[in-house]
Amino acid sequence: MSDERVVHLAEDVDPPLLYPEYRSTTLRAPQRPPIIVPDRFRDLESPVYGHDDIGEADHDLTRQHAGEPQGERIIVTGRVVEEDGRPVPNALVEIWQANAGGRYQHEGDQHPAPLDPNFSGAGRTLTGADGTYEFVTVKPGAYPWKNHPNAWRPAHIHFSLFGRAFSSRLVTQMYFPGDPLFEFDPIFQSVRDPEARKRLVARFELELTQSEWALGYRFDIVLRRTAFE
């Protein structure tokens, strides 16, 4: 444990809880300020996940069914690190996304785009010793939602991460570079700092791209620093 500790105020990076442009925040954002708690609470260690819990095709969303899903095959990889650059090994990374047509395999999704019988849109993996994770999937489509007239979400992949401690827990979304919908999307724009917003956008990398096979994107994820060695 280190005595040195930086107290973070969530909103220097994270979006505010109330962001009226994203309508669903108006009845769900707490109005009273949170209370500060002792360190012990933050420092509760994350549960340990075993490799046995993860299936062999869990990280490859193109191999979870009899056939291959429709769409542009992509590799999404990156490193999970803490703010001081230390890698986070054995971290559970879970993803979910719409199919190439912009439809989720979820009964609540009423967008009249086709479902893909070969795509469930969910994956999970553990990071390696240097914090690296990798998924193979297809690029999700943009899709409409009812937030405001003619509202469309930019293509994105949801990420859920367990870092070293309770305080490292993160749920976020990864976007694709150059999306024309960025400026119209209140969820993306809810991150007020433009530099922080950029960290939600994956980078296309030719070096990750596999010839005749799949486009490569890098998405590094930086979690809150913990006191754990």
Partner 1 sequence: MLGRTPSQTVGPFFAIALCREKQSEIVPGGSLRIGGQVFDGAGEPVPDAVVELWQADQGGTRWGRCGTNETGRFEFRTEKPTSVGGEAPAVEVNVFARGLLRHLVTRIYFPDEVAANEADPVLSSLEPPDRETLIAAEEDGGLRFDIYLQGEKQTVFFAL
Catalytic position from the list 22, 143, 175, 217: 143
Say how many residues touch partner 1, by CB under 8 A.
74
153 as an active site residue: the answer is yes
Closest CA to 96 of 108, 104, 88: 104
Catalytic position from the list 59, 79, 103, 156: 156
124 as an active site residue: the answer is no
Answer yes or no whether residue 14 interacts with partner 1 by CB under 8 A: yes
According to CB under 8 A, which one of 75, 137, 216, 224 is a site residue for partner 1?
224
CA 146/CA 137 separation, integer angstroms: 27
| Single-letter code of the amino acid located at 150 | N
- Report the site for partner 1 in 178-207 (rule: CB under 8 A): 187-188, 190-191, 195-197, 199-200
x-or-dash string of contact with partner 1, 68-87, rule CB under 8 A: -------------x-xxx--
In the complex, least distance from residue 225 CB atom to partner 1, rounded to whole angstroms:
8
Residue with smaller CB distance to partner 1, 138 or 221: 221
Answer yes or no whether residue 60 interacts with partner 1 by CB under 8 A: no
158 as an active site residue: the answer is yes
Question: Which residues neighbour 44 within 8 Å (Cβ) at sequence distance 6 or greater?
Answer: 165, 166
x-or-dash string of contact with partner 1, 131-170, rule CB under 8 A: ---------------------------x-x-----xx-xx
- Specify burial of residue 168 (Cβ count, 10 A radius: 0-12, 13-18, 19+): buried
Query: If phi over 0 gives left and psi between -120 and 50 gives alpha, with beta otherwise, what is residue 29?
Result: beta
Q: How far is CA 193 from the centre of its chain?
A: 18
DSSP 8-state class, residue 95: E
In the complex, least distance from residue 146 CB atom to partner 1, rounded to whole angstroms:
11
- Report the site for partner 1 in 106-135 (rule: CB under 8 A): 106, 108-109, 120-124
Residue with smaller CB distance to partner 1, 63 or 106: 106
CA 202/CA 213 separation, integer angstroms: 19
Asked if residues 168 and 153 have their Cβ atoms less than 8 Å apart, the reply is: no
Catalytic position from the list 8, 73, 86, 158: 158
CA 4/CA 226 separation, integer angstroms: 10
- Please list the active-site residues: 104, 143, 153, 156, 158
